Each structure stands twice: as C-alpha cells, then as structure tokens.
Structure 1
Amino acid sequence: MQHAKSESDVTSLAPSSPSRSPKRPVYYVQSPSRDSHDGDKSSSMHATPNFNSPMESPSHPSFGRHSRNSSASRFSGIFRSSSGRKGGRSKRNDKGWPECDVIVEEGNYDEFDDDKAYTRRCQILLALLGFVVLFTVFCLIIWGAGRPFKAEVAVKSLTVNNMYIGSGADFTGVPTKMLNVNGSLRISVYNPATFYGIHVTATPVNLIYSDVVVATGELKKYYQHRKSHKNVVVHIEGTRVPLYGAASNLEVKAGGAVQVPLTLEFEVRTRGDVVGKLVRTKHHKRVSCPLIIDSTSNKAIRFKKDACTYS
C-alpha cells in the first residue's frame, strides 16, 4: 500500500533530486594576518576559488580524488613525525600554520675535506721537492763549471835584507851556531775565473836549511776579484835560530862570505764562493823552490818559471 507523499516530504526531497545541479560549496581561505590586531578580520574572509580546467572543478567526479592524491603526494614526505610513523598529526604554530620536520641528510662530509687537505699537502710537498731537486742540479752544474778555474801562483823574487851567522847558545845554554835572516818574498796570484772571485790564504812561508826552519812568514788573507792579477809581498824573518850540527855543512868563502843552501816551501789555498756559501770551489797549490843565499849579497833573487815546483 503506497502512502501519499506529503507536501513537506516533497519539499525536503527536492534539493536531492539529480536533475538539479548542486550548489557550489563555499571555500574558506585562512591567511596569516600582518598585524595581531586584524587577525579576526582576515580569518573570516572567504573567496570563490578559480579553476583553470573542468578537471579542477568541484563538480567533476575526479576533483576530490585528484586533489587528495596530489596533496597527499605533495605533503606526504613533509608531515611525517620525527619517530618515522606515517600519517601522524602535524603540529601547528600559534598562527595556525603547520610545522614540518626538517629532513636531515645522512652522511659525513668531513672525509671529503680531509681528502682535499691531504691532496693539497701532497701537492705542496711535491712542489718543494721538485724545487729542491732543480736547485741542486743547478748548483751542481755551476759547481762543475767553476771547478776548472784554478788560481795560478808564481814566485817572482826573494830579497834578503840581512843574513848573519854567528856563535851563540840556545835557550838551554847549549853553544851552537846561530842564524839571523830578514827578507821579503814577492808572489803573483792570478784568478782565471770569469764569474766569481776567490779568497786567498796560505800556509806559513818557510825557509828551510837541512830540515831546520830558519825563517818564516805569513801571507795575509785577502779577496781577489775575477779575471785579475795581484802581487803580494810576504815578510820573512828568523832571529837567533840555532843550527846545531847542520852548521858544519856551511861553506865559508874568502872575505867571510857564507853561501847557505835553502828551500822555500809554502802552500797557497783559494776558495771561490760561486753561489754564496751554498756552492764553493776550493783549490790548493804547493810551491817548493830551491835556492842559495849569499850572506854578503843583498841582491834580489829572481825565479824563472821552471825554477820552482808547483803541485
């Protein structure tokens, strides 16, 4: 038995009829207020959303599903709780905006910094090592180039100012022949080096009679420039030198003249600073000259080129 619908029932069922289009829902947009005074006014504002396509329209069947999927995919990774559970509730701040957890990327980047620092140190060490090697090779080349330049030494003359042989006693009181010698020796030194000077020194210059040093002198140290000649004078002196048994070999000529066979010996040493104190060249030359001195003659004894031995 069918019951007749009342007018009130028809009226209540009218909005749900499929023939009529539903009213568009009203969407409220909540935005943060600029000032705390107008917070209530802005929260009550409403606007009708704009839709660019039918797919975005609320009347389209896929609108709700599409919007939910897109919003879910957009914020699924943001609104995760710190404990790792999905679907947790997001916290909101005092203005109503959701607070999101910050995703911290895992990984230690200090290893890359350490690798870069290690590589930089290795590069610096290699550069220093290369510089040292190149500088060493350069110094060796310079040293080899300066090695052949040896100083040339020549004995020019010996002048005996005074020579006296007489009787006396040594410091212990033993009687013997005593010899006094006073003279000067002239030496020539030539530096053939083209790019460095030399420092010249010498061992004591000795006059030797039968293995006894009867006079000695000293060459003062000096500096000589490149490609230069220099004549130096060495003062030689011997005072009251005891001859002991060697005096028996002396020949006394007429007029009391005595000829004494002597040997002049010394060594000249040169040092060239090629590259400061890092690269140096050193040479030495030993000189030996036999001679005979007449006690009554004051003439200078000149030495020929082959009169002395240079080694």
Structure 2
Amino acid sequence: MHAKTDSEVTSLAASSPPRSPRRPFYYVMSPSQHDQEKLSITSSPPSSPFHHHCHVSSSIHHSRESTSAHFSSSLWNGPWKKLSSPRRSSVHGEDQDEDDDQEEEERRLGTRCYAFLFFLAFFIIFSFFSLVLWGASRAYPPKISVQSIVFESYNIHPGLDWSGVPTKMLTLNSTVKISFENPATFFGVRVSSTPLELFFSDLPVATGHMKEFYQRRKSKRVVTVKVAAKQIPLYGGGVAFTSVRDGGAAANVPLNLTFVVRSRARVLGKLVKSKFYRRIRCLLHFREMRLRRPLDLSRACLYRS
C-alpha cells in the first residue's frame, strides 16, 4: 500500500459530500386483524441506505408475526377446540341435569301440596258433615216411660245379719215395666242401664238389672225388669216394715225407685256417635194389701237428662 499524502487526503475530503446525521425511526402497529396487520416505518429520506435494511427487517418481523398469529388461530380452531368442546358440553349437560332435578323437585313439591290441600278439604267437609249428622241426631232422644210396678211377694221376719247382729230380714219380689221408644229415622240405639234400686229413705232394700238390648229406628218396646230383695237386713228401718202375718198392721212403706238409662247411637258407624242419658226417679208406696196388683207409675216419676 502506498501512503497517502496530505494533498490526496485533502482532495478526497473536499470531493466527498458531507454525511447527514441519522434520524430516529419508530414502528406503528395496526390493531387490525392478524392477516391485515402492517408495520409502518417512518424514517429519514427513503433513499437512505438504512431504509432498505429497516424495510427488510420489518417485513421479516411482520411475516413472523403473521405466521405465529395464523398458527395460533389454527391451533385454537383446530384440535384444541375439539378437545375443549367435550368439556363445555359436559358442563352444559351438568347444568341441564341440575335444571331437570330442580324441576322434578318442584313437581314433587307441587304434588305434595295438592295432596295436602285435598286431604285438608276432605277433612273439613267430612267434619262438617259429621257435625251436621251429630246435631241432627241430638234432636231425636229416646222416649222412656216407667209404666208400672207389681209386687208379687212380701215377707218380713226376724233374723241375723252376716256379723250375727239380730234384726228384721226382708224378702221382696217385684216387676217393673218400662216403655222405650226410638223416634230416630236414620239410626238405631243400643240401650243399657244402671241397676234399678228400691230405697227406703237412704237404705237400699231391693235391686234389679236390665239386660242390654238394641232398638231399631222408629220402633218401640216394653222392657220388664225384676227387682228383688232376699234376706236383706233392715236394722233401724225395720220398724216401718210390718206384716199381717205377724199379727201387725199391713205394711205401707214409702219407697224410691232410681236408675239411669244409657242410650248410644251410631250415626255414622264408629265415627259419629251420640249418647243419651236419662236419670229416672219414681216415688211410690208399697202396700201389703195390694200385692200382685199393678201400681201405676206413669205420673209418679221424674226424668232428667
């Protein structure tokens, strides 16, 4: 190589044009779709040697971005979408099952509500109907009347009670006739009674039992009950009981006949029942001289419910 002289360096420097300073450049990315993305490059004069280099690099960068965007789009719309769709369908199926279960539960709840309302309405209607029947049955109480009593035998004699105390002993036989009528038009009654008792003051002297029976609707019968006393100690009350057989006066003793008649009506089987109670008390006089003669009691008795 030959060393350049100062004159040559000076001539080269004078002949070559002065270089312009570099201007900064920047990229503008368009926010459009990936297949339409473009890169704008703004720089100093297009004839600059750096313009070609920047243009080439921007084109390469743009092609890489387009390729990557296209690849990612193909992956999203391709097999990955197919893989993700079953999960979405399964989630949708689970939601559908939950909706079906909720609808089924609401349907069951509605059925239960309807059943409850039906039974409640049926209970109210049946209760009202039963109450009406019960009230109607109360308007048909049985008609009871004590007709007569007949004393068949009478015997008074001294004796000993169960503890050995000497006193007068009474033996008595009688028959009571009772008329019973059931005026009801749609139910029968079953009739029973407490023991029929004859009292002298507060001392019971004779007892009888009426058999239970069934009385059909709109029917009537006469019931006979045996009321008797056998070897009943009279203690202090024996003074009133005398007998012509013993040479005394004929007996004339006030007595009370008391008992309660119970009538039970089944208006609607065992569901609706009506009960009627009749408390009866008859005031009479036992006369030894009227043995075996009926004693009219139709006006001698008191009836209370």
- Asked if TM exceeds 0.5, the reply is yes
CA distance in 2, matches of 1:153, 1:273: 19
Given that 2:243 and 2:250 are in contact with CA atoms closer than 8 Å, whether structure 1 keeps it comes out as yes
Shift of 1:305: 3.1
TM-score (norm 1): 0.66
Shift of 1:252: 5.7
Distance 1:300 1:85, change over 3 A: farther
TM-score (norm 2): 0.67
Alignment correspondent of 2:137 = 146
**Cα deviation 1:175-207 (Å, max 9, x = unaligned):** 111110112111000111111000111100001
1:106-185 alignment, distance < 5 Å: 106=93, 107=95, 108=98, 109-185=100-176
1:288 aligns to 2:281 (yes or no): yes
SS in 2 for 1:299: coil
- 2:302 aligned residue (295, 306, 309): 309
CA distance in 2, matches of 1:251, 1:90: 126
Given that 1:157 and 1:300 are in contact with CA atoms closer than 8 Å, whether structure 2 keeps it comes out as no
Q: Which has the larger radius of gyration?
A: 2
- 1:227 aligned residue (194, 198, 218): 218
Alignment correspondent of 1:208 = 199
Given that 2:242 and 2:249 are in contact with CA atoms closer than 8 Å, whether structure 1 keeps it comes out as no
Q: Structure 1 residues 102-111 or 216-225, which shifts more?
A: 102-111
Alignment correspondent of 1:275 = 268
**Cα deviation 1:228-268 (Å, max 9, x = unaligned):** 11101101111011110112234666765222221111111
CA distance in 1, matches of 2:288, 2:183: 38
Distance 1:304 1:169, change over 3 A: closer
1:89-100 alignment, distance < 5 Å: none
RMSD: 2.4
1:247 aligns to 2:215 (yes or no): no
Given that 2:145 and 2:179 are in contact with CA atoms closer than 8 Å, whether structure 1 keeps it comes out as yes
1:28-67 alignment, distance < 5 Å: none
**Cα deviation 1:82-139 (Å, max 9, x = unaligned):** xx94222799xxxxxxxx9593424112111111111111111111111111101110
Gaps of 5+ in 2: 1-73
Alignment correspondent of 1:266 = 259
Moved over 3 A (4+): 100-104, 249-256
Given that 1:252 and 1:259 are in contact with CA atoms closer than 8 Å, whether structure 2 keeps it comes out as no
Given that 2:156 and 2:241 are in contact with CA atoms closer than 8 Å, whether structure 1 keeps it comes out as no
Distance 1:101 1:170, change over 3 A: closer
Q: Structure 1 residues 276-285 or 297-306, which shifts more?
A: 297-306
Q: Structure 1 residues 137-146 or 297-306, which shifts more?
A: 297-306
Alignment correspondent of 2:292 = 299
Specify the code of the residue in structure 2 equivalent to 1:260.
Answer: V
1:193 aligns to 2:214 (yes or no): no
Gaps of 5+ in 1: 1-80, 92-99
SS in 1 for 2:105: helix
Given that 2:243 and 2:288 are in contact with CA atoms closer than 8 Å, whether structure 1 keeps it comes out as no
Given that 1:164 and 1:295 are in contact with CA atoms closer than 8 Å, whether structure 2 keeps it comes out as no
Distance 1:128 1:85, change over 3 A: farther
CA distance in 1, matches of 2:126, 2:115: 16
Specify the code of the residue in structure 2 equivalent to 1:248.
Answer: V
Specify the code of the residue in structure 2 equivalent to 1:243.
Answer: L
Q: Structure 1 residues 110-119 or 290-299, which shifts more?
A: 290-299
**Cα deviation 1:122-177 (Å, max 9, x = unaligned):** 11111111111110111001101111211111111111111111111101110111
Shift of 1:220: 0.7
SS in 2 for 1:185: strand
SS in 1 for 2:133: helix
SS in 2 for 1:172: coil
Specify the code of the residue in structure 1 equivalent to 2:285.
Answer: I
